[in-house]
Structure 1
Amino acid sequence: MSGLVVVDTRSDWPLQIPGMQIVTAWEYLSLEPETLARNVRVYNLCRSFGYQTTGYYVSLLAGARGHRPLPDITTIQDLKLAEAPSVLNDEIEELIQTSLARIGSPEYVLNVYFGNSPSKRHERLARALFNLFPAPLLQATFVYRGDEWRVAQLGPIALGEVPTSHRELMHQAARDYFTRRRMPRARRDSARYDLAILVNEDEKEPPSNARALKLFEKAAEKLGFEVDFIDKSDYGHVAEYDALFIRETTAVNHHTYRFARRAAREGLIVVDDPVSILRATNKVFLAELMDRHRIPQPKTVLIHRGNVSSVARELGFPCVLKQPDSQFSKGVIKVDNEAELKRETRELLERSDIIIGQSFEPTEYDWRVGVLDGEPLYACRYYMAEGHWQVVKREGAKKHEGNHETIDVKDVPKNVLSIAVQAARAVGRGLYGVDLKQFGTVVKVVEVNDNPNIDYGVEDLFLKEALYRKVMEFFVRRLEARTKDTR
């Protein structure tokens, strides 16, 4: 059995789908918890989710039983909040305007069935609403005020309120949703856990290349995982998994953070977890964190509009400016004089009220130490691009990279390894890439990355397939520990 469809009366849901069992709400609530395995998927199609109604209790008790309800109790509560429409982010606000641009009336009602819309024109909007508020049946009311569309109401719709003309569409959407993950291949009998790997096929510089992703999949399957590669359109499916591995570049104001946050809320084992994303993607936070833990770093100044005039005196020239969320050498600038400093800080401070300034300390290469669960995993030397002060040199659309050298962590200088582990542990217990500079016996942390590159042919050159296995073993350890804790 793949899951339970819970309804008020059996006649509410005439559709039969292989692997899905239809039960009434009272049948589900009356079940002894031990009669069902943990992690059963529960699709709550009750007529009401009002506080302390049977529909409310189905989702509430499903969570308590270790099942996976859709909607979960948090989504039900979110939809009840008067301010729920206001939580729609900028990304969906723009989608609302474009999707409804041709509507002639001042009000429009959109029904959403398992993320699908009766109108092809509104399919992207329907999916986005479902991703933000994962509930099987949703209804959104939009009103045109001033010169833009706004969400006036957003909530679940009862089965009985679905128009007759929409029934077949709803049933087909349900069939697609229930069978979506099982269509490519039958579930292996040996699979113990479900793992989702979040990727973006359009990303130009992903944290893992295609060969690496295949090796992650292979390692996971050997350890008993059923693996699905998902993208940002699969937000509504997150709760169906045991673990989430994010292999798309992370950012706070981004769907990767929303995936991590929801997965953590649902009890999944997550890499990168949302706390690590918050901490590691902001260099202002990292600078203060390293300082608090007395972890050496290049001389660092938090620059704001009130202290720009003192930066040159404190750091000297040349110095390095960094926007807080810079990645892949982007948003990192070397300035050689006062004029450049003023010009570049003015531009950077337009995007963030605080930026980072650091002393310029050139080296032939940077160390990158991969740390997993507080222990060193791999080590590389990334050499500077030819004729450049960074590992990556960008010239318009062109990118030039320096050489790399992957070595056994046992051969890494002890002080490099020790400081890398300290820095990673200060951030968390997930997967990190710590960048460091070495000057003889002096070692300084440049940054800690929450979403480090693990590419076939680079970071795996020493450990080879063992590197991918070690990452997947981390998920297994966490899942097994969670299972023990809930017994």
Structure 2
Amino acid sequence: MKYLFVVNNPRNWPLQIPEGEIVSAKLYLSDSRYSNLKNVRLFNLCRSYRYQSIGYYVSLLAMARGHKPMPNVLTIQDLKSSSMVRYVSDELDAMIQKNLKPIQSSRFTLSIYFGRNLAKRYDKLSQQLFMQFQAPLLRAHFVKSEKWNLQSIGPIAASDIPEDHRPFVVEKAREYFNRRHSYFAKKGNSSRFDLAILANPEEQFPPSDERALQKFTKAAESVGFYVERITWKDYGRLAEFDGLFIRETTNVNHHTYRFSRKAAAEGLVVIDDPESILRCTNKVYLAELLERNKIAAPKTMIVSEENAERIQQEIGMPCILKQPDSSFSQGVVKADTAEELQEALRKLFSTSDLLIAQEFIPTEFDWRVGILNGKPLYVCKYFMARKHWQIYEQAKSGRTYAGRAETLKLEDAPDPVVTTALKAANLIGDGFYGVDLKQVNGKVYVIEVNDNPSIDAGIEDEILKDELYTCIMREILGRIEKKKGVSTQVSTAKSDK
């Protein structure tokens, strides 16, 4: 990775950072040596990021060249947006009030150098603002009326850095990118691209357990990625990466969708992409999609309060009711009687104007076909929890019980199951999907298509072992190479088992 510090005039630049090259903005924009560089991290330290200023064009052309500018153009637009400033102020309100409470005056200015401030007590606030507005040198202005509010935030000109702050700025700049140098020095490797894996260590039913996440990391490193596990707190850092792999349960009304949207807007390769999240997480959409494309599914009805009385006539009893965004058997109710149906409708309509009603098809297990970019990767049988009609059972004690799982070789799976799953997945896109199906008397029914399907160590990887993780990482790598127009030789050796 090459580091460029782009400034208006290197002669007037007061900081010396040995690890990076200082270059003038005009030279960076006009000299073909810089336009042809690969694997570049660029720090835009121009005096102004005003629209169509030279500082604006540095970040704009850096993005076009496949370099990683800080700030990028999206951040520059956010810095100028008063609505974005107000939104951040609301989101960070508790931290702002706590940090600035001791201040007696009605105004306060916070200087943020690569996410840090000279005063330790403002460190967390500085880091949070830096995550939202990723620019190397920032100055935030706060005003107090009834409470403290973020009035504005923008870049700091080099001439405005106090002389006694300059050693601190150099130290924090070096710390910021040296963490990656130290990583690769220890690994004896060099990164081709940077991959973020979004996961939530507190999630009750994560799509991948800790062992699987470690295997994903190892597989990504084996094909040449620098890998970093991130959480919802790292939203502002997405521009640092070339790819985002989401291993947290997705939902449209959730930070996972915002991460996916922003990553796609930043030009990252994203799995799960925002379109797949939007399509898969809403069962109303899926029901309409499968019906229009004549793919067999259990008898299904889109239910509103106006037509709910027709459920028993059209679907029959017992029946299954689903919230549009249900997952992991949550938000899914089985009604055996008319009384249970009315109670379930009352509860579910309190959170959604539309529901899904489906006929109940009892089976010993559900099929799951994992598909990546139109190709099947694995086939599983997920058995129902003991004496229960679902794979997961939520006991009154709060404990969750799951049925056993069995993974098959692709060639051993019934051909109608795999071909039907492929037809359904191809209607969604070219991402990573898990298609759930039932097979009764030789007929195959699609239950749903999931983005972000489960990959747990010892279950979905039972047949392919570590190669399953490597296949997924190679797909992400190939998409990044295609997007950036580069080619690299990648080791396809399997990780040690």
Q: TM-score, normalised by structure 2?
A: 0.87
Identical amino acids, percent of aligned pairs? 50
Which amino acid in the other structure matches residue 133 of structure 1?
F
The one-letter amino acid of 1:289's match is L
Q: What is aligned with 2:223?
A: 223
Answering whether residue 315 of structure 2 is matched by residue 333 of structure 1, we say: no
Aligned to 2:183, what secondary structure does the other structure show? coil
Secondary structure (helix, strand or coil) at the match of 1:250 reads coil
Q: Per-residue deviation at 1:43?
A: 0.7
Which residue is 2:494 aligned to?
Answer: none
Range with greater deviation from structure 2 (61-70 or 337-346) = 337-346
Distance 2:271 2:34 in 1: 30
Q: Which residue of structure 2 lines up, in the alignment, with residue 181 of structure 1? A: 180
**C-alpha contact 2:435 2:449 (8 A) present in aligned 1:** yes
Higher deviation after alignment, 325-334 or 176-185? 176-185
Matched with 2:134 is 134
SS of residue paired to 1:5: strand
Paired residue secondary structure (1:379): strand
| Equivalent position of 2:59 in the other structure | 59
CA, structure 1 residues 30+467, in 2 after alignment: closer, same or farther (shift >3 Å)? same
Structure 1's 483 and 170: CA in aligned 2 closer, same or farther, altered over 3 A? closer
Residue equivalent to 1:237? 237
**1:61 counterpart SS class:** helix
- Quick one: structure 1 residues 296 and 124, their matched pair in 2 at CA, closer, same or farther if it must change by over 3 Å? farther
Q: Is the CA contact 1:193–1:242 (under 8 Å) kept in the aligned structure 2?
A: yes
Does the 8 Å contact 1:195/1:228 carry over to 2? yes
* Alignment-mate amino acid for residue 247 of structure 1: R
Is the aligned partner of 1:415 residue 2:416? Answer: yes
Q: Is the CA contact (8 Å cut-off) linking 1:272 and 1:450 kept in structure 2?
A: yes
One-letter code of the match for 1:420? A
Q: CA separation in 2, counterparts of 1:327 and 1:91?
A: 28
| Segment of structure 1 superposing worse, 258-267 or 32-41 | 32-41
Equivalence map 1:8-407=2 (5 Å): 8-10=8-10, 13-33=13-33, 36-88=36-88, 92=92, 108-117=108-117, 120=120, 123-142=123-142, 151-162=150-161, 167=166, 169-186=168-185, 188-189=188-189, 191-395=191-395, 396-407=397-408
Rounded Cα–Cα distance in structure 1 between residues aligned with 2:442 and 2:181: 55
User: 1:58 offset after TM fit, Å?
Assistant: 1.0
Cα distance change of structure 1 residues 190 and 51 upon mapping to structure 2, 3 Å threshold: closer
User: Structure 1 residues 322, 37: CA separation in 2 closer, same or farther (over 3 Å shift)?
Assistant: same
1:446 aligns with 2:447: yes
Letter in 2 for 1:411: D
Distance 1:304 1:117 in 2: 54
Aligned length: 485
SS in 2 for 1:183: helix
Q: Secondary structure at the match of 2:42?
A: strand
- What displacement does 1:322 show? 1.8
Q: Secondary structure at the match of 2:288?
A: helix
Structure 2 CA distance for partners of 1:367 and 1:179, relative to 1, 3 Å: same
Secondary structure of 1:83's aligned partner: helix
Summarize the Cα distance change of 1:87–1:415 in structure 2 as closer, same or farther, 3 Å threshold: farther
Q: Give the match's secondary structure for 1:229.
A: strand
Worse-matched range after superposition: 456-465 or 111-120:
111-120
Verify the 8 A CA contact 1:392 1:399 in the aligned structure 2. yes
Measure how far apart 1:107 and its partner are: 5.4
Change (3 A) 1:94 1:286: farther
Q: What secondary structure sits across from 1:331 in the alignment?
A: strand
Residues 41 and 458 (structure 1), Cα distance of their counterparts in 2 relative to 1, 3 Å cut = same
On the 8 A contact 1:33/1:65 being kept in 2, the answer is: no
Larger deviation, residues 255-264 vs 137-146: 137-146
- Residue type matched to 2:222 in 1? K
Q: Is the 8 A contact 1:197 1:247 kept in 2?
A: yes
Partner-residue secondary structure (3-state), 2:363? coil
Q: Distance in 2 between matches of 1:182 and 1:249?
A: 32
Judge which range, 357-366 or 195-204, deviates more: 195-204
Q: Distance in 2 between matches of 1:360 and 1:254?
A: 30
Provide Cα deviations, 1:128-182, integer angstroms capped at 9, x if missing partner: 4333332223344455677x66544343343444456755554443233222333
Rounded to whole Å, the distance in 1 between the matches of 2:92 and 2:352 is 23
CA distance in 1, matches of 2:120, 2:355: 44
Alpha-carbon distance between aligned partners in 2 of 1:47 and 1:464, rounded to the nearest angstrom: 52
Q: Which amino acid aligns with 1:417?
A: V
2-side partners of 1:188 and 1:104: how far apart?
52
- Return the alpha-carbon distance in structure 2 between the equivalents of residues 244 and 472 of structure 1: 11
Give the Å deviation of 1:388: 0.8
Cα displacement (A) at 1:482: 2.7
SS at match of 1:130: helix
Distance 1:276 1:185, change over 3 A: same
Residue aligning to 2:460: 459
Q: 1:104 offset after TM fit, Å? A: 6.4
Q: Distance in 2 between matches of 1:198 and 1:414?
A: 34
Equivalents in 2 of 1:117, 1:325: separation in Å?
Answer: 42
Q: Matches of 1:12 and 1:371 in 2, distance apart?
A: 56
Query: Are the counterparts in 2 of residues 369 and 433 from structure 1 also a CA contact under 8 Å?
Result: yes
Relative to structure 2, which stretch is displaced further, 296-305 or 432-441? 296-305
Alpha-carbon distance, 1:121 to partner: 5.3
Moved more, 446-455 or 346-355: 346-355
How far off its partner does 1:365 sit?
0.4
Q: What's the CA shift string for 1:318-361, capped at 9, x where partnerless?
A: 22222222221112121223333333322222222222222222
**Distance in 2 between residues matched to 1:298 and 1:119, nearest whole Å:** 62
The CA distance in 1 between the partners of 2:90 and 2:345, in whole Å, is 27
Q: Deviations over 1:385-416 (max 9, x none)?
A: 00111101112431111111100111211211
- Cα distance change on mapping 1:253 and 1:164 into 2, 3 Å: farther
Structure 2 gap ranges (5+): 488-497
Secondary structure, in 3 states, of the residue corresponding to 1:184? Answer: helix
Cα separation, 2, equivalents of 1:143 and 1:309: 57
Matching residue's letter, 1:376: P
What's 2:427 paired with? 426
User: Residues of 1 paired with 2:9 and 2:404: CA distance?
Assistant: 66
Cα RMSD for the two superposed structures: 2.9
Tell me the equivalent position of 2:482: 481
